[in-house]
Structure 1
Amino acid sequence: MTAPEDAIRARRRLTNKLIAAHEAARLRPFFAPDVKLIVGDGGLIVGADAVVDAFSGQFADPAFVTYVRETASVELDAAGQRAAEQGRWRADWKGQPEMSGTYLAVWRKVTGQWVIESELYVTLT
């Protein structure tokens, strides 16, 4: 059986691959239906459909390359049903300086699968 920390890290790597491939619709299963996402500039996106729509819009921009999130740590709650993932992120757009910062993601286990409940991204560069 895969350890929860390893499962979350693997799911994060897969989301990175899907973002690099500009596969917005395939990201949907990674988000809880009521996900809350605070983007790097402080804006709020609520709901998995809205998050996927935001990715679709960015993927339609020919200058967009990818977002990469690199997990630094994963910490589980006592019951093993929620986890906090912390790490660094970067955004690559053609012809623009790289943006980067730190992030925190809250994962919860739903019917045996880890999904993102909320994420906070802080732009630092």
Structure 2
Amino acid sequence: MTTPEDVIQARRRLTNKFIASGEAERLRPFFMDDASLITGDGGMILGADAIIDAFAAHFRQLGFVPYVRTPQSIELDQAETRAVEIGRWTGAATSGTYMAAWRKVTGQWVIENEFFVTLGG
């Protein structure tokens, strides 16, 4: 039986794959329309459109090196409609910790908020 934690981990692996291949638009289904993202340096990006635009701009940078998010824990609420994922992210010269809040919407787990903290590099 597939657990919600398994599904979230599988969706995280897909986001890592799309980041590695520089496919910003393929990340769109993983975010709620009103999602927010706090970058490793403390900047804030509001809304899925702006998040996807930021990914696309990042992927176009000369020398872009993909980064990987690795979940360390996933915890669900009692109703199994919200979850928090905590893990490590690593890039070529930087790394840190992240937290993602997931929500189950019409049967699909999507990110409502992500928060990254750069700790190395």
Residues 1-125 of structure 1 mapped to structure 2, 5 A cutoff: 1-92=1-92, 98-125=93-120
Q: Quick one: percent identity of the two aligned structures?
A: 63
What stretches of structure 2 of length at least 5 have no aligned partner?
none
- Distance across 2 between alignment mates of 1:99 and 1:68: 11
Where does residue 95 of structure 1 map in the other structure?
none
RMSD between aligned residues? 0.7
1:62 CA displacement: 2.3
Aligned residues between the structures: 120
Uncovered stretches (5+) of structure 1, i.e. residues with no partner: 93-97
> How far has the Cα of 1:79 moved from its partner?
0.6
TM-score of the two chains, using structure 2 as the length reference:
0.97
Q: Alignment partner of 2:66: what SS?
A: strand
Q: State the SS of the aligned residue for 1:22.
A: coil
Deviation of 1:82 after TM superposition, in Å, equals 0.2
The structure 1 segments of at least 4 consecutive aligned residues displaced by more than 6 Å after TM superposition are none
Residue 65 of structure 1: how far off its partner (Å): 1.6
SS at match of 1:17: helix
